[in-house]
Amino acid sequence: MNKVDNLGLVLQALSLEILFRDYNNCDLMQELQRQDKEYLEKIIAQNKEILSLLRRENKNGRET
């Protein structure tokens, strides 16, 4: 694995930790969990885009 792949794994692990914190079973906490999941999905999509750009730069001979 290269640095870019490792960075992607770290970013996703941190994002998942935020999502899967302990929540009580009340409606408010369930709504917050739903919003966190949506936010996480956006973060993961952005992370994938960043990694794609970094890989493209790396292929062009630039060091990351």
Q: Where are the domains of the chain?
A: 3-57
Q: Is the pLDDT of residue 64 over 60?
A: no
Mean pLDDT of the chain: 79
Q: Name the residue with higher pLDDT: 12 or 53.
A: 53
Helices (H) and strands (E) in the chain, counts: 2, 0
The pTM of the whole model exceeds 0.85: no
Can you tell me the mean pLDDT for 13-42? 76
Q: Is the pLDDT of residue 25 over 60?
A: no
Q: Is the pLDDT of residue 39 over 80?
A: yes
Our CA angle for 54, 8, 63, nearest 5°, is 30
Q: Name the residue with higher pLDDT: 25 or 52.
A: 52
